[in-house]
Amino acid sequence: MTEGRRKRCQALKAAYGSLYSHVSRLLREADPLGLIAMGAPDDEYDPEVSTIVPRLHEAGSAVDVQRIVHEEFVRWFGADIAGPITSYADVAERMWGTWLDCGRRG
């Protein structure tokens, strides 16, 4: 990760607090691209988290979160690597619950 991206992640972690941490954990657990399973570091998806979390305010449902997450993975990795939007349904449901629990309060 470049120094600029690292600083952006740190700023977002400070701004979004537990929401950022929860979304990061959810993506790490879901491991949609199998990178964690291949030995990537635990913060592998943090650049994507940095672009997903600020967009969650756009969401009105888990389906919206699914679209946002998929769009960001396509942006970061390309459509072929990101795969189909359906692959993001489960993690989107969990993120939606996290957003309802701690994101909207902030």
Instruction: Report the pLDDT value the prediction gives residue 7, as an integer from 0 to 100.
Output: 72
The domain limits of the chain are: 3-103
Is 92:13 a contact under the CB 8 Å cutoff? no
Q: Which CATH architecture has domain 3-103?
A: Orthogonal Bundle (1.10)
Instruction: Report the pLDDT value the prediction gives residue 104, as an integer from 0 to 100.
Output: 58
**pTM of this prediction?**
0.87
Instruction: Report the pLDDT value the prediction gives residue 5, as an integer from 0 to 100.
Output: 64
Sequence-separated contacts (24+) of 98-105 with Cβ below 8 Å: 98/19, 98/22, 98/23, 98/26, 99/19, 99/56, 99/59, 99/65, 102/17, 102/18, 102/19, 102/22, 103/16, 103/19, 103/56, 103/57
Instruction: Report the pLDDT value the prediction gives residue 62, as an integer from 0 to 100.
Output: 97
Block means of pLDDT (10 residues each) for the chain, length 106 residues?
69 80 95 96 92 94 98 97 97 94 62
- Between CA 59 and CA 50 the distance in angstroms is 16
